[in-house]
Amino acid sequence: MRSDKIKKGFQRAPSRALLYACGVDNEDIHSKPFIGIASSFSEIVPGHVNMERLSQAAAKGIHAGGGISFKFGVPAICDGIAMGHEGMRYSLPSREVIADCVESVAMAHGLDGLVLLTSCDKITPGMLMAAARLDIPSVVLTAGPMLTGRSKGRRLSLVRDTFEAVGNCEAGKITESELEELTLKACPGCGSCQGLYTANTMNSLTEAMGMSLPGCGTAPAVSAEKERISYRSGKKAVELVRDEVTPRSIMNENAFHNAIVVDMATGGSTNTVLHLPAIAHECGLSLDLSVFDRISRDTPQILSLRPGGNYFMEDLDWAGGIPAVLKNLSGYVKDNNTVSGKRIKEIAENAVVEDDDVIRTHSTAYRESGGLAILYGNICPDGAVVKSAAVDEKNMKMSGPARIFSSEEEAVEAIRNREVKKGDVVIIRYEGPSGGPGMREMLNPTSILAGMGLEKDVALITDGRFSGGTRGPCIGHVSPEAAQGGPVAAIEEGDEIEIDITRRSLNVKLSDENIRERLKKCKKPERKVSGWLSRYARLVTSAAQGAVLK
């Protein structure tokens, strides 16, 4: 066992003494594997507040399976709380910190295996990156989605009923007291936000990749089933150690193919286009943006959850969860191993679709193609991403004058002051991975527009990111970013922008020569950056490469 290096032989007497000080039994220390539980428990992140209960269940499973459990902590950031201020600059960079934390503890203590307890947006990909990097037996345990809120007989979710409700309030459609009522009832308890935003998308894809047990991605945070899955995950981690099954034997090309298929079929978050390439990078694989677009063109969208649709994560779970999704995608996914010991095709074959409107078939699909599209053009030679599943059919092709902003704050102020009009194309630049720095997720401008009823009349383009909860013609990840001399920096107020999502194009009506001449005169805005974000800004790569560090 890997842990032998810290516990066996007379030379390791000091290490054993310290392990005994932690309560490790001297009769078990030599014969049982050491399983770390990397817990991202936090009392300020709703998707993580239930993790103490789940980590206890996982520890019981580890002990029942014949292992010794060791819980340790990693950081977690709530994107919803960090949204709209400088705190959001830390969200995407925290993915790298999380991977580094898990690596550090696992390597320093010679752990034999891991249970990776996660839930929200950057924590899950960070955990998967660590699993791939370490390549020691690991099970990912996602903590589960939040139940829907309720008010006056209506089901509520965070994005539509708080973020977008702010726009409704700004537009005078609801009163401040009505907004406060929604605020109080939209999030009734623990769990990751209720739709296919980034957290639940990544948790669903983790299951589709085979890195968590069947049902884990959708079982509600408050459910007893989630606790049972936690117990089973602990037992399975010990089994994986004994069978020498490592993450890279599961996270192969077939696994990433299946993750992208499920992503496109479910209409998942645009942020997966950052995270899956980053995880693949740690596996020693390359995942080009063109792969996402190719699979999207060939995969029907068979789910319609919020933000684009009206179903919720609990509906997906009741309808059969990711196994049922895989069943209806059996012709699109590739067979592969999973941490459960069952093959993907076996899981799909044994699944039951309990609601054929929540989980549709190819013949009854919401759309013939998938939920994301990769755009190219003279604004984004290296690509840009749009959640096409959340775009109305009539907005798949748009054009209009550019409204230029060099920060999210500038754009939000203009929107609130009614300076942005129907037909405008808002461009928010210098918010990319290095330019931000941190590639802020910008739900505020998109949700305010939606609340004002302008989500079908105003397009947004950015070299930053949009939330998984964004809907409407919102195009992010424009690469190269403005801070790195990308063409988006050359666009001026009033330039005509042409968007054609169906044809996968994004262009400004300028010649290549005009763009080159303008770029020579561009000056990057000065931003005071301190702490480790200054290091991040120097080391981070393009969004088209998953924003991994050099």
* Structure token digits, residue 351: 């699944």
Question: How far apart are the C-alpha atoms of 408 and 13, rounded to whole Å?
Answer: 56
Question: How far apart are the C-alpha atoms of 10 and 2, rounded to whole Å?
Answer: 17
- Whether omega for the bond prior to residue 75 falls within 30 degrees of 0, making it cis, is no
CA-to-CA separations, 123 to 104, 130, 240, 433, 444, in angstroms, rounded: 16, 11, 23, 17, 22
* Short-list 478, 474, 333, CA closest to 396: 474
- Helices (H) and strands (E) in the chain — how many of each? 22, 14
Secondary element (H or E) of residue 39: strand 34-39
**Phi, psi at residue 281, to the nearest 5°?**
-55, -40
Length reported for the chain: 550
- Which amino acid belongs to residue 54? L
- DSSP assignment of 106-174 equals HHHTT-SEEEEEE-STTHHHHHHHHHHHH-S-EEEEE--BPPPEEETTEEE-HIIIIIHHHHHHHTTSS
Active site residue ranges: 467
